[in-house]
Structure 1
Amino acid sequence: MESQVRRRVRRTVEASRQTILETAERYLAEEGPHGVKVQRIARDLGLTDAAIHYHFGNREGLLEALLRFSGRRFVDELTLAMEASGSPSFDLGKAARLLTDLYERRGAARLAMWLILSGWSPSGGGMLQPLVDWLHEARTRRALESGLTAPQLEDSQKLIALLSAVTFAQALSGDALLRSVGLQALPREDFLSWVTDLLEQES
């Protein structure tokens, strides 16, 4: 046991933080914010609670770091998706799927809402800026090719904000959002496709 602890101490600070956040993200996806507990993460990794507090201060610090960690992963995956497209075209459907993965499957929407309701206020910004830039570039190119005036950046920002709001709300409410307006039989995926089609018309 002692030799295992000594080996873990040799990890770099960044490697230790990464391992802790990856474990926390797994619990977040499985159980939501209530499942992210310092004691169980420490037990899983063979660490002490104090070791996790050393890196994040307290549980709230861990949760805030986890939200930023998920956001950075989203940006990395978005960048890869844009590079893999092989063209400057923009696919709102792919953007919606990436946002759904972040907000719903990984639990980022529940975590962000939990933190906000606990009094936390986000200090950063711009996580969705690459998405805005991608959309705005495509909209500008289409407009110029058609001999039209280039769109305003603010309009592209609003379109992405709306798409983010819809995917965020769906992640929190599940099917309740659609049931509230009598759409009991409509799959959420179909509704999201309808939203992206509508936004494509605006873009």
Structure 2
Amino acid sequence: MSDHVHAPFGSFPSVHRALEVCELLAPPVADALKNWDDRAAAESVLYVDTDPDKADTAVFCEAYGVQPEVSANCVVVAAKRGGEVTLAAGLVLAHTRLDVNRTVRTHLGARKASFAPMDTAVEETAMEYGGITPVGLPAAWPLLVDAAVAAAPHVLVGSGRRRGKLILPGRAVAALPRAEVLPGLAS
């Protein structure tokens, strides 16, 4: 079955349905795919094997022939209001930037919002830095998705590890638990 799976873009040494290679994914990502109520969305997710030393967006896009317009970055944000910190994730296309100071801060009702420290992001997600993905985030976290990501035919995101990436339809991203599609999330 996996022998006939093809990525909708890029040039990868191997492509599999993600549900068939859960052992290659970070545990929370594998669990999220296995338990996703939207079975069609879960089954639409592909896993592409990639070199962990080429995980950073610019290097990755060049190495695998992927346009930044189809690659999405998942950014962990810490929003603060009165001593309470709320962690959330923002998902934007790689050629754009997450609007943390205006759109994210306002949407989360925070006084201040900033990128979460790397150690916090890694510990809270149980994913590797450089591979954090919107699939399998902590259940309490809001997932803010830029409207351009949700509208994309397919987007490439992390796999929870630096090795490998996931490709899924934008509509599947919008169907992730706690996902909120926001216009103007990216600038």
TM-score normalised per structure 2: 0.23
More helix by share: 1
**Higher RCO (C-alpha under 8 Å, 6+ residues apart):** 2
Structure with bigger gyration radius: 1
More strand by share: 2
TM-score normalised per structure 1: 0.21
